[in-house]
Amino acid sequence: MNLNLRQLKAFLGVAHTSNFTKAAQQQHLSQAALSASIRELEAQLRCRLFERTTRSVELTAAGREFLPVAQQVVDALEGAALELQRLGDAKVSRLRLGFTPILASNVVPELLEEFQRQFPLVQVDVVDAAPTELLEALEADRLDAAFGAFARKRSGLTQLQIAPATLMLVYSDQFSAIGERIGWPQVFDYPLITLNDRSPVQQLITEMARQVEAEIRSPMVVNHLETALGMVEKGFGVALFPSFAQAAWRRYQVRASEIYPAVSLGYFRIMKSGKEVGSAVEGMTQLLIQRLHKPAAAAG
């Protein structure tokens, strides 16, 4: 006996449509080719699978018994083929991914465990750097993809939003009078731990200060949001964070307030234009999307 996938799919097509013409069209075959596959299958099984009349096509008793077996075999073969294709796509010696530090330290380690289960043949090199440094590394082909908050889209790079976010005020118990919501003019009444001017977050803060005609009173300037969190926890001031970073601030003894009107800052996947999104990069993207879209209570 020498059954093949072509014969089984031809049988399933006719069984599901009860029509040779429709089944042939769905499988992009001529009706003669499909009929030949059915005849070959019946010859090998030594039984008729269909009762054919001028008006209808119906399964015989043997055909009804064979139907679930054929379906199971086709599903198993196609599933195995897809899995082998996925593993084949993932065969890269190294995948170079860049992340901004706040998520590289708080979210990425957890995601890498799941990623390695899904893509055991892929070795990931993680680069944690500021957004401007990640963009430069992409342009120089030192990264396959980068993930972070990028203020402006650069030519030559493609940008996919992963998680929308807003800026939130993070503070310690020392400033507990702030409450759950605060307006932008009032934000600048507090000592604000700021980032360097290259940070997209800081650029938004500076723009908002200009719009509300407020002065930024900064007791210190730091390079990383994680450093700002430590300073906030010790009461040196307050700080502004994108809401997708709550997995980080929930590890500290701090609180967070919404700011109105809301100011958006998206988290993006950036790649070089024309570069193919392989299954491994897409896999990491989907893991990040799932993680960053979790409800706030589950994100810390």
CATH of the domain at 180: 3.40.190.10
Tell me the average pLDDT across 140-165. 85
CATH of the domain at 33: 1.10.10.10
Torsion angles phi and psi, residue 241, rounded to 5: -130, 145
Contact 215, 154 (CB under 8 A): no
Distance CA 241, CA 286 (A): 23
Q: Which residues of the chain form beta strands (DSSP E)? A: 50-52, 57-59, 95-99, 124-128, 145-148, 157-163, 167-171, 181-183, 194-195, 221-222, 239-242, 255-260, 267-272
Q: Which residues form the domain of 19? A: 5-89
Contact 176, 204 (CB under 8 A): no
Distance CA 229, CA 290 (A): 24
Concatenated DSSP letters of 123-134: PEEEEE--HHHH
The one-letter code for the residue type at 135 is L
Residue 299 has pLDDT above 50, yes or no: no
Confidence (pLDDT) at 59: 93
Kindly report, residue by residue over 165-197, the tens digit of the pLDDT.
889 999 999 998 998 999 999 999 999 999 998
Q: Count how many domains the chain has.
A: 3
Do 60 and 9 lie in one domain? The reply is: yes
